[in-house]
Amino acid sequence: MFLKKKAKRQLEAYQSELLATHYAEVDNMYQQMRGWRHDYKNHIQVMKAYLALSDYQALERYLNELDEELSSVELVLKTGNKMADAILNSKISLAKSKGITIIGDANIPYSLVISEIDFCVLLGNLFDNAIEASLDLPEEKRLIRFYMELKGSQFYLSMTNFTAMKKQAKWFGRFQTTKGENRGLGLLRIDQTVAQLNGYLNRNSEDGAFTTEVLIPQEKNFKYI
């Protein structure tokens, strides 16, 4: 009983920390975007001044600097779902800052049965684990692929990260993490969230790649048999 309570407290603490981290990442991204928009008029005035002076080299240099700055804060992916956009773009920005290439596609309806908290826990953990595993590779080989869409009444999510590890074997039907405690808790939270939503989860390990697939029914009373 004591061990169960301790594990529950650890899990709750980890979830609170995870949600705080994700929301901080999202807030930071939007703060940057709002800041850029706030300075928009100032940027226009500077460019007009260069144009009036016929200083085209300075104008070109300023435009290039603005383009580089904006590309680091703009929404690089728009799925149709605001929560998904917030999480995905914050994680893509984080991955790029660590030299990880992201290839993905997502088309999600505005409203999902999944709550924002569950969605944050599921998608955030999947991305964090993929990012962590990618860091074991040299920068030129770091790659994460993801795909999301609504298939009929099922929300489908697939994420593959390329790793330095060989094909992993399952132990009692589960892959064992070789990383720290937080990653193990992250995997547990993914499993729990999918189970609570009556979903289906499949993990597959191959040499140099690890894939997670998730199906979440969008009908509240649906259950897999």
Domain boundaries, the chain: 2-26+75-217, 39-74
pLDDT digits (tens, 9 = 90+) for 105-151: 888 876 777 887 788 788 888 998 899 889 989 999 999 999 999 88
The pTM (predicted TM-score) of the whole model is 0.64
Residue 172 has pLDDT above 50, yes or no: no
DSSP-derived 3-state class of residue 39 = coil
Dihedral through CA 14, CA 19, CA 22, CA 24, nearest 10?
A: -110
CATH of 2-26+75-217 given 3.30.565.10, 3.40.50.300, 1.20.1740.10, 3.90.1150.10: 3.30.565.10
| First and final C-alpha spacing in the chain | 31
